[in-house]
Amino acid sequence: MAFRTDLAREALSHSKNLRNAAGIRQTQRTIDGFTVDCVEVLSREAAEELRKPCGSYCTMTLAPLTRRESEAFPHAVEVLSGLLTELLPEMDDDASVLVIGLGNRAITPDAVGPLCTEHILATRHLRRALPEQFGSWRAVSAAAVGVLGQTGVEAAEFTRGLCDTVKPSAVIAVDALAAGSLPHLARTIQVTDAGIVPGSGVENARQAFNRETFGVPVIAVGLPTVVDGGSLLWHAKQQGAVCPELEELSGPVFVTPREIDQQVHDAAKVIGYAINRALQPHLSIGDLDLLLS
């Protein structure tokens, strides 16, 4: 039995040794009705204890969006866009960005990355073909690279080849995550400048997406779509539950919401639009609707 999560906020809440440690900095703010919790991992000791690389991890709670509040979508896009802008490196006007959708499109809880790329405005070719119209736009490339079982190629190997060709100044990787508790399923988005290890949340870790792998900053955006059975069992035992059948949850069992199909599609659009707004701030959400329709 083990508690596992890809969310730094959850990992910290379950680490009694780190809650007030010098190597951790926590902040919380509310922006346009959305709560944003940020955890900064500042020391090697804190990183080892938390099992997260050093860096900033911002978790945005999607409560207004899940409640279908008026104007929740544009507000969510603007808040997430602001978080991305804070974490992206400073780039000159000619710098390009590569957006990678990680995951398996055929498996709904793992499809947020590939679906997100459908909402990315690719402009690298437009800058070259039509410099008078698009010369001032950020050069953006986007690709859904599939998974090893489909392609026979590691996602990181695919992306490294793309980086050799595109030579981006930064990579944005979008992937599904594993949460440690049910309330966070499809209701939060984590953004971090520490990169990501695809599949780590479901015990299928692949090559890391980070600066060491690609030589440029990697911003990872993730939506938690599953909870591991071991984490559910951990929570049950903390509450004193005694039931032999619960032990079966410690095996390879993953729980996902009933409405996961709609939730993944909604979140993929929010993430895609937010990336566009961060990279092309002169475009409004209305502009993106027209260009991506």
Q: What is the mean pLDDT of residues 65-87?
A: 95
> Residues 130-175: pLDDT tens digits?
988 998 999 999 999 988 888 888 899 999 999 999 999 999 999 9
pLDDT score recorded for residue 16? 67
Residue 31, phi then psi, degrees to nearest 5: -125, 120
For residue 198, what pLDDT band results from cuts at 50, 70 and 90? confident
Q: What is the mean pLDDT of residues 174-178?
A: 95
Predicted confidence (pLDDT) at residue 36 exceeds the cutoff of 60: yes
pLDDT score recorded for residue 253? 78
pLDDT score recorded for residue 149? 81
For residue 203, what pLDDT band results from cuts at 50, 70 and 90? low
Supply the mean pLDDT for the chain: 89
pLDDT score recorded for residue 137? 95
Percent above pLDDT 70 for the chain: 89
Does the pTM exceed 0.85?
A: yes
218-255 burial by CB neighbour count: b if 16+ within 10 A, else e? Answer: bbbbbbbbbbbbbbbbbeeeeeeeeeeeeeebbeeebe
Rg of the chain taking only CA atoms, in angstroms: 19
Q: Which helix (H) or strand (E) holds 36?
A: strand 34-41
- Judged by average pLDDT, the poorest of 13-27, 101-115, 135-149 is 13-27
pLDDT score recorded for residue 96? 96
pLDDT score recorded for residue 123? 96
Calculate the dihedral angle through the C-alpha atoms of 109, 110, 112, 117, rounding to the nearest 10 degrees: -150
Side chain identity, residue 196: I
Residue 75: name the closest of 60, 56, 97 by CA.
60
Please list the alpha-helical segments (H only) found in the chain: 8-13, 44-50, 63-66, 72-87, 112-117, 124-129, 131-134, 148-151, 155-166, 211-214, 229-238, 260-279, 285-292
The CATH-assigned architecture of domain 91-292 is 3-Layer(aba) Sandwich (3.40)
pLDDT score recorded for residue 201? 47
For the chain, the domains span 91-292
Distance (Å, rounded) from C-alpha 211 to C-alpha 217? Answer: 5
